[in-house]
A and B are shown apart, each in its own frame.
Chain A
Amino acid sequence: MRQINALITNTRGASPVSIILGVVILAGLFLFPKAVESPYALHIMILFFLSTIMGESWNIVGGYTGQYSVGHAAYFGAGAYTTMVLMQFKQIPPWYGMIAGIAVALVVSLIIGSICFRLRGPYFVLASIAVAEIMRLCAMNLKDLTNGAEGILATDIPPFTLGGTVITDFLSKVPFYYIGLVIAILTIAVTYLVQHSKLGYYFQAIREDQDAAHSLGINLSIYKNIALAISAVFTSLAGSFYAIYIGFIDPPTVLALDISVQIVLICIIGGIGTIWGPVVGSLVLVPLSEALRSNLIAQGIFKIGLASEESGVGIFLKDHLAHAHALIYGILVVVVILFMPDGVLGYVKKLTKKKAM
């Protein structure tokens, strides 16, 4: 509690300008659905919140503790599948499904942690991928439980209450906007608390030098597991939220390696091991991939007149650009690793520092 008070009152050197800016942005975010009614704008914001939640969660174990899990799809999928199976097949409202999803993700994280944290560096990366792959294959093969490759489509949605009102249909995006916003703020707050607590210092000590941290009496496996557990809880929440919001899940969309890579990407692009890194990463990635998916970029090219819509090139772009977001992701990873290893945030910091000098 003291820490939460400290979070509110003591801003640790934050300038009044940034506090006011923060309050304004936060107020703006809460009022956004009142001002903007476009479902598409709300959809983009919801994806942005989702991406922020995923990035912040990975950041705790990957960014602060230095354990590069490339298997976070395991927790995302655990949340998504648990919530969806309970909701669609057992008529259990998604709130309880989310909690059950967290429980499952915690168990999975304990199993993964106890196996994988004995391994270091590339071996840990490999093991984390293997575990997530095993889960994907299980989801594919346990047809009675998960519907296998067909996936689960939410058709029998049990009514659930949100802030006193009963939600029976998922047509409005406004409730999801607020749920996403609240979870996103929660994950950012948790990251902040972690970063400024003893726990967070332990995490960062492990990241900087495992052996030194160990020799100082930090129990490596316990703290790595705690970091992974916190990370798993929020990634699972993101998975549950995704499942309820989209209303359809299958192994390739919630358990594939691509998901794990995307989660890592949000952090690398923004800046690993920083509070705002995943937010910045999401600000870059979400609009970009949506613009590609909805063919906005192809439309833009037609508008500028670089290619006509009926020409061969135009048809090619229209057909293919929508699937190109993974290609762009790949190019972004390569560019970021080679030219801005500290992410956009680190790059901007470096630029402003240079200017100041």
Chain B
Amino acid sequence: MTIFLQSLISGILIGGVYALIGIGLTIIFGVMRVINFAHGDIMMIGMYLTYNFFSLAGVDPFVSIALTIPLMFLFGAILQKTFINRVLGALPQNQILLTIGLGLIMSNTMMFIYTSDYKILTTSYSSSSFNIGTISISWPLAISFLITAAITLLLYWFLMKTDTGQAIRATAQDREAAQLMGINVKRMSILAFGMGAALAGTAGALISPTYYIFPQIGSTFTLKAFVITVLGGMGSIVGATIGGVIIGVAESLGAVYISSGWKDVVVFVLFLLVLLFKPAGLLGKSKM
């Protein structure tokens, strides 16, 4: 029972970070109907940023997100303006291939600079943990979960209460109608991609103390992000949050009860099953 609870809780904690990646992807899809295959690579860039802040200036990874978030936002906004914007009306496959290409450029540029060696970011608290009853919880995971929760709540508030947030949601619901209502749709797209990149980058920063950092890590997370968003229903933020936690728990339980080598298979099988039986996702066809 302890083992079960233990893996359940660490699954939920890591699921929170996964949710962040998924929410980023889902916002981009919601506003632009573009599936961003470079999402995991954007997250990887966030990891390297955090690694550099830490190794060059000694900035704590959790503190450095104050820098990572605006930088990644800028990065995403530039990507949208220079590349994605040009294929908004193109065939979905061309959009997919373009983002795959961008992802290849990102991961291989990083490999060019940092080689494919694994980098490890070890903080003083990387392996420390605390106990609740018989269950031990790792500090870095707990902190990143709290930060994730705070960011997610802030995001909700932004999307629900602010004018810009409402404009973004309106664009997601109906691009043309939003434009007719005087919403600057182009600006919303840039904002959405910037936010998506910032969220992915933040997720990268948050997991960097607990993961190996290497240029090719992105594609795994791109796929994971899809599984998460498809599970929750493409374009739904609540769905992505739930999807993230489900995937985190499935992985964590899979690793304990099957084997760590097979845990990703569990995730993909789950994904195919959802695609087959509930292609609109667990939450149906909800919009943002």
Contact = CB atoms under 8 A, between A and B. Distances in A.
B108 A337 contact: no
B139 interface: no
Most central of A115, A129, A131, A337 by chain B CB within 10 Å: A337
A268 B100 CA distance: 13
A82 to B, nearest CB: 20
Nearest to A112: B272
Nearest to A257: B219
B35 interface: yes
A134 interface: yes
Contacts of A341: 90, 94
A68 interface: yes
Contacts, number: 113
Q: How large is the interface on B (under 10, 10 to 19, 20 to 34, 35 or more residues)?
A: 35 or more
Interface string A131-149: 1011001101100000000
Given A115-B276, A122-B35, A337 B105 contact: no
Contacts of A134: 265, 268-269, 272
Interface residues of A, number: 38
A23 B93 CA distance: 36
Interface in B78-106: 83, 86-87, 90, 92-94, 96-98, 100-106
A119 B116 CA distance: 36
B109 A327 contact: yes
B262 interface: yes
B264 A125 contact: no
B199 to A, nearest CB: 20
Contact of A130 (B104, B112, B271): B271
Contacts of A137: 261-262, 264-265, 268
Interface in B209-257: 219, 223, 226-227, 230
B135 interface: no
Contacts of B116: 323
B108 A126 contact: no
Contact of B223 (A118, A133, A268, A332): A133
A122 B264 CA distance: 21
A34 to B, nearest CB: 39
Most central of A123, A126, A133 by chain B CB within 10 Å: A126
A333 B111 contact: no
Interface of A: 68, 70, 115, 118-119, 121-123, 125-127, 129-131, 133-134, 137-138, 140-141, 257, 261, 264, 268, 320, 323-324, 326-327, 329-334, 337-338, 341
Closest 4 CB pairs of A and B: A330-B104, A333-B101, A327-B108, A330-B105
Given A118-B276, A261-B104, A327-B112, 19 more contacts: A68-B96, A115-B275, A115-B276, A123-B279, A126-B35, A127-B272, A127-B275, A133-B223, A137-B268, A141-B261, A257-B219, A323-B112, A327-B104, A330-B105, A332-B101, A337-B101, A338-B86, A338-B87, A341-B94
